[in-house]
Amino acid sequence: MVEIIPKPAIKTSLLESILLTLAVLLLISLAFSFVYLKYAYSKTQDELENAKTALIEGETPEEIRLKERVLDAKKKIDDFATVFELHRAANNFFEFVEKSTHPKVYWEKVDLSPLDSQVSLLGRAENFKVLGQQMIILEEKEEIREIILSKISLGEGVQFSLELSFDPQLFK
């Protein structure tokens, strides 16, 4: 038989509403967690495959960059060592020149080639007598192998050019 009189709606309690809401939220969060974990797992698998491939092939891109940086640093250190050696050699030469120069001779230009043990000097002496004394001082030095005097000119004193060949030990 059909009931004509409507029945009152069933009232749910507050506790039931809260539990239903929490269950739905838990279900949604589980779904999102599942999707995220599936994505993270596939990404980790890809990285693992890349690492295996890199191990099989040899060097990784990071190792190659690191190797290039190390080689660049080594080149800079080697260059600095060469410059330092040449600087030390130049110091030896300048100490030698300081001890071997006549008091009335002035050097205006120095072209130093330590690798070839060669030096070109452009100087000025007060007169020919001083220039002669300077030549005698240089000829007495054992470190000098050859002296070439050239381009002598008169003006304010005597201007001259010297080409000196040294014992390579002076530049070490």
Provide the pLDDT for residue 157.
81
Residue 31 lies in a domain: no
Identify whether 61 is part of a domain. Answer: no
CA distance 111 to 164: 10
Average pLDDT, the chain: 81
CB atoms within 10 A of CB 117: 20
φ, ψ for residue 156 (rounded to 5)?
-80, 90
Distance CA 41, CA 44 (A): 5
Q: Is residue 124 part of a domain?
A: yes
The answer to whether residues 122 and 140 touch, using CB atoms and an 8 Å cutoff, is no
What is the tally of structural domains in the chain? 1
Residue 110 falls within a domain, yes or no? yes
pLDDT for 28 beyond 90? yes
Its domain, for residue 90, covers: 79-171
With respect to residue 72, please indicate whether it lies within any of the assigned structural domains. no
pLDDT score at 34:
92
The span from the CA of 7 to the CA of 68, in Å, is 85
Whether residue 165 is contained in a domain is answered as yes
For residue 87, give the CATH number of its domain.
Answer: 3.30.1360.100
Question: Is 33 within a domain?
Answer: no
Residue type, 21: T
Neighbours of 60 (CB within 10 A): 14
pLDDT tens digits for range 87-138: 666 677 777 778 888 888 888 888 877 667 788 888 888 888 888 887 888 8
